[in-house]
């Protein structure tokens, strides 16, 4: 009589061990997924009120941002693997959130967007190339001149 009872106990023990292993493996799979999720990086704000997509890399050698007594102004030169149409939509949506008004836009292989805010203008030139997209962002004062060149 002990033999059939031992078989039932052994089967129960094996079933219990398999259930525990199954639960443990499912928990480890869930834990691995949370480790892979990276936090979203913020977009770039070289100018205080002009948000630039983080997918575009700033060329620090050819860019110049002047921070005087007023709001920052200057030129940002960027490049990245983002389509020009997507960049234009990005600025059409995000710049008005910071108080910029779209004054004009021209869509072509070399596109241009012009925004105005109070006493400043933001001019965005976008050029779609074969492998990368190039973009210049100018933020300049309206009806004013700023000379930041080196005097000889």
Three-state secondary structure string covering 51-69: EECCCEEECCCCCEEECCC
Q: Considering only 14-28, 82-96, 117-131, which range has the smallest mean pLDDT?
A: 14-28
Give the global pTM. 0.67
Kindly state the DSSP code that residue 95 receives in the 8-state scheme. T
145 pLDDT band, cuts 50/70/90, is low
Q: Considering only 66-75, 102-111, 126-135, which range has the smallest mean pLDDT?
A: 66-75
- Residue 25 is classified by DSSP as H
pLDDT confidence band for 69 (50 / 70 / 90): confident
CB within 8 Å of 73: residues ≥ 6 apart: 47, 65, 66, 120, 139, 140, 141, 146
């Amino acid at each position: 009589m002990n033999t059939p009872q031992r078989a039932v106990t052994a089967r129960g023990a094996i079933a219990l061990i398999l259930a525990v292993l199954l639960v443990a493996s499912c928990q480890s799979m869930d834990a691995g997924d949370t480790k892979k999720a990276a936090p979203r990086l913020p977009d770039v704000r070289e100018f205080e009120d002009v948000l630039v997509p983080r997918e575009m890399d700033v060329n620090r050698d050819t860019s110049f941002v002047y921070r005087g007594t007023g709001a920052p102004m200057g030129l940002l030169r960027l490049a990245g693997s983002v389509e020009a149409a997507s960049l234009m939509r990005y600025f059409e949506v995000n710049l008005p959130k910071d108080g910029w008004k779209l004054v004009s836009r021209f869509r072509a292989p070399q596109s241009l967007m012009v925004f105005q805010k109070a006493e400043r203008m933001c001019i965005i030139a976008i050029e779609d190339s074969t492998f990368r997209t190039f973009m210049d962002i100018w933020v300049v004062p309206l009806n004013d001149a700023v000379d930041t060149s080196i005097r000889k």
